Amino acid sequence: METDMRSKKILAVDDEEKNLTLLEAILSPLGYEVEKAQSGKEALAKIEEFPPDMILLDVMMPDMTGYEVCKRLKGEEGTQIIPIVMITALVDKESKVKGIEAGVDDFLTKPVDKIELIARVKNLLKIKEYNDYTRDWSRMLQDKVIEQTARLRESFEQLRKAHAKLEKAHLDTIFRLSVAAEYKDEDTANHIHRVSAYAGIVAENMGSSEDQVYLIVHASPMHDVGKIGIPDHILLKPGKLTPEEWGIMKNHALIGERILADADDDLIKAGQVVAVSHHEKWDGSGYPKGLKGEDIPLLGRITAISDVFDALVSRRPYKAPMSNEKAFGVIERSTGSHFDPRVGKAFFQAIDRILFAQKQDRDMGTAEIQP
């Protein structure tokens, strides 16, 4: 790098006007801009207003010594890289050590030799220019890092939002397909919401992990997806089903299993488990496979108690809604036969939360629940 002498500003500090005049006479013809100060305080004021590229500093001054000025400048971040040449008549070792301790970069002895002065000035200005370049490059790199980090954060946030949007669309699609299976029942969407809420509450109360709770909350709405394959005259029949009709109705569990089969998505796989197992009973008397006890997947056992409770307290084409108190009695009597005792215990331990979720649904005007 070539030093542009015309752009370099040198501050000469000396309480003797003749010394300042001499320095100016030597350096100005070379293209340097020479600024003068006759005291330490004046020098500090000028440096604060416009920091020079280099300082030629006398030692012995009345208000503040050159050591004090140098120490102050080297102690501040904004001025510590300005090279300082101390010009002194003191040639003893102790004076030089004191100057080094104060942070002086070089020394010149009075009377100043012109050739030596020019050589020292040029060398120190090159060092200053290199230091400035290094500092500016470092700042530029730092700015680039900050800029790239901000861009990465923005990209990450965009990806996060896109992922959240995709996940929401995925869950919304699953829910809408679940509703489609029972579209002719006007309370189906509300029923699915409530079963999902109850199942999540029971799973949490059983100590399930966050991932497991997420799975049951979003898989349970698929429990009756197989009803899309059941004829309307059976699905919406206002009276009791005949044994033949009941046999057809029970097929919805296997139909749901087939609809959701061979999926790669964990949530759809969980929905398949829920669809085929939520009518199994703890004592083995359920359908479609007559599974018993813990052979019934936990997802199915939790969905079963949530589904039955909501079915009991909701209006159906073939029955009026039951009160919560009566429904609790049915659930309690059926725990150990229809329902897993551990699931039943978790259900009743979380009854306040379940009733709160039910009330929220009712307050929104979407439920037909008798208090």
Question: Does 5 have pLDDT greater than 60?
Answer: no
**For residues 365 and 360, what is the distance between their CA atoms, to the nearest angstrom?**
9
Indicate the range of 26-35, 108-117, 301-310, 312-321 predicted with least confidence: 312-321
* pLDDT value, residue 6: 47
Integer CA distances (angstroms), 302 to 6, 7, 330, 347, in order: 84, 81, 16, 9
Q: Is residue 42 classed as helix, strand or coil in its secondary structure?
A: helix
- Residue 176: the pLDDT is 64
Task: Specify the DSSP class assigned to residue 319.
Answer: B
Domain map of the chain by residue range?
A: 5-139, 182-363
Question: What CATH homologous superfamily does 182-363 map to?
Answer: Hypothetical protein af1432 (1.10.3210.10)
CA angle centred on 193, ends 189 and 199, rounded to 5°: 140
pTM of the model as a whole: 0.57
> What pLDDT, in 10s, does the model give residues 35-83?
999 999 999 999 988 889 999 999 888 888 989 999 999 998 888 889 9
List 56's β-bridge partners, or say none. Answer: 12, 85
Query: How many Å apart are CA 22 and CA 31, to the nearest integer?
Result: 15
Read off the pLDDT band of 169 (50, 70, 90).
Answer: low
pLDDT at residue number 4: 47
Banded pLDDT at 296 (limits 50, 70, 90): very high
Provide long-range contacts, Cβ within 8 A and 24+ apart, for 176-183. 177/222, 177/225, 178/221, 178/222, 178/224, 178/225, 180/228, 181/224, 181/225, 181/226, 181/227, 181/228, 181/256, 182/224, 182/227, 182/228, 182/235
- pLDDT at 197 (0 to 100): 93
Q: How far apart are CA 82 and CA 157, in angstroms?
A: 43
Gap between the Cα atoms of 190 and 315, Å rounded: 12
What percentage of the chain reaches a pLDDT higher than 70? 89
Place of tokens 């790669």: 264
**Pairing verdict, β 84-88 and 106-109:** parallel
Residue 145: its pLDDT value, please?
A: 85
308 has a pLDDT exceeding 50: yes
Q: Indicate the range of 100-104, 197-201, 247-251 predicted with least confidence.
A: 100-104
> What interhelical angle do 298-313 and 210-219 show, nearest 10?
50
Does 182-363 match 5-139 at the fold level? no
Residue 26 and residue 114 in contact, taking contact as beta carbons nearer than 8 Å: yes
**What CATH fold (topology level) applies to the domain 5-139?**
Rossmann fold (3.40.50)
Which one has a higher pLDDT value, 68 or 95?
A: 68
pLDDT value, residue 17: 92
CA distance 136 to 146: 15
* Helices 114-181, 188-205: inter-axial angle, 10-degree rounding: 120
